[in-house]
């Protein structure tokens, strides 16, 4: 089996790590695979080092980038030539831009062959993985409509399987936006190296000392690219509301009810880099948070910084399944996240004990306690502040949510499971192709015999 895997760029984020893990793992399993990537634009951090640490060196097409450009025609041509050179059994694209140029090149590769004249295109299967989608919260109405039309067309013409990473993502992409047919879809959740986070408790004290945090302090962190769709501004607004209501010392009793514990100082940590860093730092100062929020920049040691945190927040407007939350849960951290994309699959249903914990379960407040975290209404700073107050005031609830999250992730999000799922998908596709080829050859032989008779 030979695979060509295409991703638009190896920038910091879940998709880059996902394809690196896939490449390294499938190669060890005997799959011949080539990783193709574009360039990381200015303002985004390059994550090629992560692929290199796994022994994966991508083939770079410099013209391939995130934005629409006249260079896309060159990208398609180069990908077409690469496919002709490699002659893959499967082409697997990841992220929106790579999915477009990769499948357009694949359409040419499949049909620009003499045998296509008698109905025998090149025998290659095409898979596209949605790590997220750009059907809302990224662009304006016209541009979003164009992208949706392109995705529907490519799903119809040149896609054998559409991979989504959560059941909720399937509901959004297929049922809400109408992309693809049900039989095209496969739900394959993300996988990560959970062993890296084993023993997080032993690293916690040292990690907190790095930030000067006392045992009684509550550290609330947000991890991700500093870009618009991640909506870090909401995190800062909620932090300002929290400080206004409860002060730096936090809340005693408060939202957590009679059983809540008092807390020391509540501090906020922004981990990541991106084009909005300067704007967000200015916003933090304007909100009076200069002494309460620390911007750490990019950190490449998640096994060290997650254990230091007490709460991990996510404020995105649009998500697939956020790897940052999976990593937080692997470290038994309590999570506080907006109700977007695959977050609902990670956090689970409203917890039976929600009422006792301060959440009534009907979401009239804009937040609710779920099985493995606290879910809040998107773009609602008030709800985010209240959810934060609940978690900051109740260490027992944080511990219970974190432990349930850890068990959930370890059981469902391992690399071994990811590799097995993708391997089965590839085998299914190549066997189906071989079966179709055998059937065609049988028909041709039967036709020859009839002519002979």
pLDDT digits (tens, 9 = 90+) for 1-30: 999 999 999 988 888 999 999 999 999 999
The yes-or-no verdict on residue 329 having pLDDT over 50 is yes
The yes-or-no verdict on residue 262 having pLDDT over 70 is no
Burial 95-120 (b: 16+ CB within 10 A, else e): bbbbbbbbbbbbbbbbeeeeeeeeee
> Average of pLDDT values for 364-378?
93
> Average of pLDDT values for 170-188?
93
Q: Helix, strand, or coil here: 9?
A: coil
- Going from N- to C-terminal start, the domains of the chain cover 2-191+414-452, 195-412
The yes-or-no verdict on residue 355 having pLDDT over 70 is no
CA distance 263 to 266: 8
With CA atoms as reference, report the closest residue to 380 among 324, 320, 339.
Answer: 339
What's the pLDDT band for 166 if we cut at 50, 70, 90? Answer: confident
Look at the block and give the residue holding tokens 């020859």: 448
The yes-or-no verdict on residue 354 having pLDDT over 90 is no
CATH architecture of 195-412: 3-Layer(aba) Sandwich (3.40)
CA torsion sign, 303 to 131 to 21 to 60? negative
At residue 359, the pLDDT reads 46
Could you tell me what percent of the chain has a pLDDT over 70?
A: 88
At residue 261, the pLDDT reads 44
> Average of pLDDT values for 405-420?
93
Equal CATH topology for 2-191+414-452 and 195-412: yes
Per-residue pLDDT tens over the stretch 211-260: 899 988 999 999 999 999 999 999 999 999 999 998 766 554 444 443 34
Instruction: Using CB atoms within 10 Å of the CB of residue 310, give its burial: 0 to 12 exposed, 13 to 18 middle, 19+ buried.
Output: buried
With CA atoms as reference, report the closest residue to 164 among 153, 173, 176, 175.
Answer: 173
> 28-42, 47-61, 106-120, 253-267: which has the minimum mean pLDDT?
253-267
CA torsion sign, 405 to 24 to 318 to 186? negative
Name the residue with higher pLDDT: 91 or 44.
Answer: 91
CA distance 324 to 335: 10
Q: Tokens at residue 191, please?
A: 């996988």
The yes-or-no verdict on residue 315 having pLDDT over 80 is yes
> Average of pLDDT values for 436-450?
43
With CA atoms as reference, report the closest residue to 105 among 56, 164, 61, 48.
Answer: 61
CA distance 372 to 127: 32
At residue 155, the pLDDT reads 95
The yes-or-no verdict on residue 36 having pLDDT over 50 is yes
Look at the block and give the residue holding tokens 């004290």: 205
The yes-or-no verdict on residue 352 having pLDDT over 70 is no
CA distance 325 to 329: 6
At residue 159, the pLDDT reads 96
pTM for the model stands at 0.80
- Partners of residue 126 on adjacent β-strands: 91
- Name the CA dihedral angle for 198, 202, 206, 207, rounded to a multiple of 10 degrees: 30
> Average of pLDDT values for 73-89?
97
The yes-or-no verdict on residue 300 having pLDDT over 90 is no
CATH architecture of 2-191+414-452: 3-Layer(aba) Sandwich (3.40)
What's the pLDDT band for 434 if we cut at 50, 70, 90? Answer: low
Q: Where are the beta strands (DSSP E) in 56-115?
A: 59-60, 90-94
The yes-or-no verdict on residue 202 having pLDDT over 80 is yes
At residue 193, the pLDDT reads 87
At residue 251, the pLDDT reads 52
């Amino acid at each position: 089996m030979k695979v060509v895997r295409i991703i638009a760029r190896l920038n910091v984020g879940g998709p880059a790590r996902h394809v690196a893990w896939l490449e390294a793992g499938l190669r060890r399993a005997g799959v011949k695979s080539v990783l193709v990537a574009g360039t990381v634009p200015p303002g985004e951090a390059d994550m090629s080092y992560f692929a290199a640490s796994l022994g994966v060196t991508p083939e770079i097409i410099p013209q391939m980038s995130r934005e629409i450009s006249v260079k896309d025609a060159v990208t398609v041509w180069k990908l077409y030539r690469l496919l002709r050179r490699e002659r893959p059994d499967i082409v697997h694209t990841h992220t929106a831009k790579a999915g477009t140029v990769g499948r357009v090149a694949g359409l040419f590769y499949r049909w620009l062959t003499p045998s296509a004249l008698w109905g025998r295109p090149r025998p290659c299967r095409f898979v596209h993985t949605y790590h997220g989608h750009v059907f809302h919260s990224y662009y304006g109405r016209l541009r979003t409509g164009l992208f949706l039309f392109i995705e529907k067309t490519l799903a119809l013409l040149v896609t054998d399987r559409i991979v989504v990473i959560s059941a909720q993502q399937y509901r959004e992409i297929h049922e809400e936006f109408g992309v693809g047919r049900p039989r095209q879809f496969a739900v394959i959740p993300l996988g990560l190296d959970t062993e890296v986070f084993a023993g997080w408790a032993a690293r916690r004290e040292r990690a907190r000392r790095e930030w000067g945090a006392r045992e009684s302090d509550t550290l609330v962190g947000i991890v991700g690219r500093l870009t618009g769709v991640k909506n870090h501004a909401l995190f800062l607004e909620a932090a300002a509301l929290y400080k206004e209501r409860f002060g730096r010392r936090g809340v005693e009793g408060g939202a957590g009810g009679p059983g809540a514990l008092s807390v020391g100082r509540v501090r906020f940590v922004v981990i990541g880099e991106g084009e909005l860093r300067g704007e967000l730092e200015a916003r933090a100062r304007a909100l009076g948070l200069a002494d309460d929020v620390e911007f750490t920049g990019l950190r490449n040691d998640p096994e060290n910084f997650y254990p230091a945190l007490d709460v991990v927040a996510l404020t995105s407007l649009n998500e697939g399944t956020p790897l940052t939350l999976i990593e937080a849960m692997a470290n038994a951290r309590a999570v506080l996240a907006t109700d977007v994309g695959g977050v609902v699959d990670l956090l689970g249903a409203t917890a039976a004990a929600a009422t006792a914990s301060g959440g009534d379960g009907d979401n009239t407040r804009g937040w609710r306690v779920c099985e493995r975290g606290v879910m809040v209404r998107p773009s609602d700073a008030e709800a985010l502040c209240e959810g934060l107050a609940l978690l900051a005031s109740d260490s027992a609830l944080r511990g219970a949510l974190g432990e349930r999250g850890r068990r959930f992730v370890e059981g469902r999000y391992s690399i071994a499971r990811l590799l097995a799922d993708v391997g089965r998908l590839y085998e299914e596709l190549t066997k189906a192709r071989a079966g179709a080829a055998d059937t065609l050859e049988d028909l041709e032989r039967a036709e020859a015999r009839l002519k002979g008779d």
